[in-house]
Structure 1
C-alpha cells in the first residue's frame, strides 16, 4: 500500500535548488526540463527544474518569489503555452489515464503535485519526487507542457483539477542541460 507521501511525492524544504547527483558528486546527464515562471503581469518570478533521476523518478525543484501568502496548488499542464491572459492556453493537467488527486481511487495524475505553503515573504523553495511524471513522455512531447501555480489549494479529489482556483503564474517547460541549472 502506498503512503500519501509516496503517492503525492516526497516534499522536502530546501535552502536552494539541488539536483540528482551520481556517485562522483557530478550532476547526472539524465533528461532535464526547466521553465522560467511568469506572473500575470509578465514578470519573471522564478524557475522550475525537473530532472529524471537514476531511479527513473522525476526530481522537481520549485524556486519562486512574489507568490501571495497561503496554500497554492501547483501542477504540470498538458500544453506548453502560457500566452492567454488567464493561462488557460496551458490546457488541463497532464492526466494520463488517471483521475485527479491522491484522494481519488483512480488518481493521481502524473501532473499532480503536492500543494505549496507560502509564508508572508512570498517565497516558494521546495523539492518533490514524482514517480508518475516522465520528463520525455509528459513534459517534452509534441505540444510541450507548462507549470502552473493556482490561487488556492488543491483539494486532491475534485475532478478534473482539484478546485485550486485561478491560474496566477505559468512557465513553459523546455529542454535544459546541466549547464542551465543553477549552482547549488
Structure 2
C-alpha cells in the first residue's frame, strides 16, 4: 500500500477511501492528497480481473451499497455538465480519469492526478463522493459513462 502523506499535510488536505467489492468485503484503499491544482489519488485494490484494463471514475454520491451493484453511488461526478470522455468534443468532465491496468495478480496499483477536482467543499469538491472501478475499460466517448460496464469496487471518500 502507499505510504502516509507528508507530515506537513493537514487533515483537510488528505482523505481516505476504503474500497468494497461486489461481495461487500473490503478489497482496497485509496489515499487522496490535495495539491495546488488538483488531487493525487494513490490506490491499491485486489480481487479485480487479472491482466485487464478497467475504468476508474469519481461518482456523484458517497454511497457504496454492494447489494445494488454499487448503483447507490449514482452517475459520474459532473458539476460542469460536460460530456463524458477524454475524446469527446465537449469533454472530459470532473469524474473522468484514465483507465487503469490490473496486474496478473488481480491487484490494481496506481497513482492518478485529477486536475479537475478538489478535496474541499467547492463545486468541484469530491470529499463525500465515491471512487469507482468498472469491469471494462472506458472508451472515452460513449455518453454518459464510457461503456465501462459493471461496477466492481466502490469507495466513499472520507
TM score, norm. by length of structure 1: 0.76
**Is 1:86 the equivalent of 2:69?**
yes
Gaps of 5+ in 1: 1-15, 175-184
Of 22, 31, 34, 2:13 maps to 31
Structure-2 change in CA distance of 1:28 and 1:124 (3 Å): same
**How is 1:131-150 mapped onto 2 (pairs within 5 angstroms)?**
131-136=115-120, 137=122, 138-140=125-127, 144-150=128-134
Across the aligned residues of Structure 1 and Structure 2, the Cα RMSD in angstroms comes to 1.6
Match of 1:7 in 2: none
Of 58, 78, 100, 1:95 maps to 78
Paired residue secondary structure (1:89)? helix
Number of residue-to-residue matches in the alignment: 151
Match of 2:33 in 1: 51
Q: Could you report, residue by residue, the CA deviation over 1:19-76 in whole angstroms, capped at 9, with x for unpaired residues?
A: 664xxxx3422522221001011111110121112x2321111111111121100111
Paired residue secondary structure (1:75)? strand
Gaps of 5+ in 2: none
Structure-2 change in CA distance of 1:60 and 1:116 (3 Å): same
Contact 1:19 1:59 in 2 (8 A): no
Task: Provide the rounded CA distance (Å) in 2 between the counterparts of 1:147 and 1:87.
Answer: 11
Q: Could you report, residue by residue, the CA deviation over 1:111-150 in whole angstroms, capped at 9, with x for unpaired residues?
A: 111111112201111101111011123213xxx3111110
Q: 4+ residue runs of structure 1 moved beyond 3 angstroms?
A: 18-21
Match of 1:4 in 2: none
TM score, norm. by length of structure 2: 0.88
Paired residue secondary structure (1:51)? strand
